[in-house]
A and B are shown apart, each in its own frame.
Chain A
Amino acid sequence: AQKITQTQPGMFVQEKEAVTLDCTYDTSDQSYGLFWYKQPSSGEMIFLIYQGSYDEQNATEGRYSLNFQKARKSANLVISASQLGDSAMYFCAMRLMDSSYKLIFGSGTRLLVRP
Chain B
Amino acid sequence: DGGITQSPKYLFRKEGQNVTLSCEQNLNHDAMYWYRQDPGQGLRLIYYSQIVNDFQKGDIAEGYSVSREKKESFPLTVTSAQKNPTAFYLCASSPNYEEGDGELFFGEGSRLTVL
A-side residues, CB < 8 A to B, are: 4, 6, 9, 33, 35, 37, 42-45, 47, 50, 52, 91, 95, 97, 99-108
Give the contacting residue for A95; candidates B43, B88, B102; CB below 8 A: B102
Are A101 and B31 closer than 8 Å at their CB atoms?
Answer: yes
B-side residues, CB < 8 A to A, are: 31, 33, 35, 40-45, 48, 50, 56, 58, 88, 90, 92, 94, 97, 101-109, 111
Instruction: Report the minimum CB–CB distance from B66 to chain A (whole Å).
Output: 15
Question: Which residues of B lie under 8 Å from residue A9 when comparing CB positions?
Answer: 40
Give the contacting residue for B33; candidates A43, A102, A107; CB below 8 A: A102
Task: List the A residue with the shortest CB-CB distance to B31.
Answer: A101
Q: Which of A95, A97, A103 has the most CB of B within 10 A?
A: A103
A104–B44 CA distance with the chains assembled, in angstroms = 8
Instruction: Report the minimum CB–CB distance from B101 to chain A (whole Å).
Output: 5
Q: Which of A35, A44, A45, A95 has the most CB of B within 10 A?
A: A45
Are B56 and A33 closer than 8 Å at their CB atoms?
Answer: no
Question: Which residues of B lie under 8 Å from residue A108 when comparing CB positions?
Answer: 40-42
The 3 closest A-B pairs by CB, nearest first: A45-B106, A105-B42, A43-B109
Are B41 and A101 closer than 8 Å at their CB atoms?
Answer: no
Question: Which residues of A lie under 8 Å from residue B105 when comparing CB positions?
Answer: 47
A42–B106 CA distance with the chains assembled, in angstroms = 13
Are B41 and A107 closer than 8 Å at their CB atoms?
Answer: yes
A44–B5 CA distance with the chains assembled, in angstroms = 11
- Extra 8 A-B pairs, beta carbons < 8 Å, given A52-B101, A101-B48: A43-B88, A43-B109, A44-B109, A95-B101, A100-B48, A105-B43, A108-B40, A108-B42
Are B109 and A91 closer than 8 Å at their CB atoms?
Answer: no
Are B108 and A44 closer than 8 Å at their CB atoms?
Answer: yes
Give the contacting residue for B106; candidates A44, A95, A97; CB below 8 A: A44
